[in-house]
Amino acid sequence: MTFLKVSDLEVEFCVDKKKITPIEQVSFEMKKGEVLGMVGETGSGKSLTAHAIMGLSSLVGGKIRGRVQFGDKDLLSLSEREMQSIRGSQIAFIPQNPMTSLDPVYRVGDQIVEGLYKHRKISKRAAKLKALEIMEKLQIPKANHVFQQYPHQLSGGLKQRIVIAIGLCTSPQLLIADEPTTALDVTVQAQIMRLFLKMTKDKGIGLLLITHDLGVIAQVSDKIAVMYAGNIVEFGPIKTVFNTPHHPYTKALLNCIPTIGMKKGTLDAIYGNVPTVGNYPPGCRYQPRCPDRFAPCGTIVPKMTKLAEDTRVACHKYNGSKD
């Protein structure tokens, strides 16, 4: 049975009477318990993809098209009421900024158990015990004390742990984490990412990890989806994509990252800027910045081409090589 299969996902907004589609032709799949890293630059549509899967884009006026199959259900065909019973229960979401995603006027403990009350038949006492258990697993010191505190009394690292606890406490099957450690310092990021990964692996939770940090993806994911200007341009197992990237954008992106011990003057940059939504160039969206472009790139939109089992790339260079 499929765990999560997203096919031809598209979100359309209407801005100034003009229709724009920030994401188009987004297709990928995840197996149960797998960690899929989704990487891309600002505005490439990573967060919107996550929101569309959870059916949240429609709340802000977007039209979602395509198919999101989760288990035996098509999430996009469900009513808002049915969706609400899935959201937070079977699919949980960890938002980007822990500083603003916690409600400042509720104690953090109450915010953790809120999901449990809503989705599970559970007594107040049992819910608290369950929350404390998760807080302890996330190595929150003095969990009992923290449970009673307000968000402003906690440090950034602790707040992020609370947000993760909220996501994990209903034991969802799929967790979507949108830049969960971006706001944190490196030493704290290393701690939290490790704990987070261990807990999702132990419970067999599928994790869709959205980040712009290729280092985090390389260290924690099984598969990777590279997004550029609203499209997935490359999808594959983590080792394949990092060791032998196919798409020119993936190659260039990997060369942009400085590493310790790298020789001075060897850093590569990608010429130009990421096109903004609504101003996408014709044909391949990467084409104006691509050093390898040739005749069809400027006119024909490249389709996802299967290169091997689980490895796909959207680039004319590989069209017709294998299908």
Partner 1 sequence: MEKFLEINDLSVSFGVRGGLFLRKIGTIKAVNNACFSIDKGEIVGVVGESGCGKSTLARLILRLVEPDDGSVSFNGTDLLKMSKKEMRWQRRHMQMVFQDPYSAMDPLYTIYRSLCEPFQIQRIKLTKGEQRKKVDALLELVGLNSDHGFAYPHELSGGQKQRADIARALALNPQFVILDEPTAALDVSVQAQIIKLLEELRERLNLTFLFISHDLSLVSYFCDRVIVMYLGRIVENISADLIGKTPYHPYTKALIESIFKTDPGEKKLVAPLEGEVPSPFNLPSGCVFAARCNDAQKLCREKLPVLENTGNGGQVACHFPLIPLADPIG
Interface residue list for partner 1 (CB under 8 A)? 41-42, 155-158, 185-191, 193-194, 197, 212-216, 218-220, 238-239, 242-243, 252-254, 256-262, 264-265, 267-271, 273-274
Q: Quick one: which of 282, 204, 206 has its CA closest to 37? A: 206
Terminal-residue alpha carbon distance, the chain: 24
Task: Please state the closest distance from residue 70 (CB atom) to partner 1, in A.
Answer: 27
Beta carbon of residue 224, minimum distance to partner 1 (angstroms, whole number): 9
- Residue 124: other Cβ atoms inside 10 A: 10
Closest to partner 1 by CB, 76 or 227: 227
Q: Decide: 11 and 21 in contact? Cβ < 8 Å.
A: yes
The three-class DSSP label of residue 316 is: helix
Q: Residue 318 CB, nearest distance to partner 1 (Å)?
A: 22
- Name the residue nearer to partner 1 (CB basis): 123 or 187: 187
Residue 141 CB, nearest approach to partner 1 (Å):
8
How many whole angstroms separate alpha carbon 323 and alpha carbon 318? 9
In this structure, are residues 191 and 184 in contact, taking their beta carbons and an 8 Å threshold? Answer: no
Shortest distance, position 113 Cβ to partner 1, whole Å: 25
SS3 133: helix
Name every residue whose Cβ is closer than 8 Å to that of residue 228 and which is 6 or more positions away in sequence: 40, 41, 44, 249, 274, 285, 286
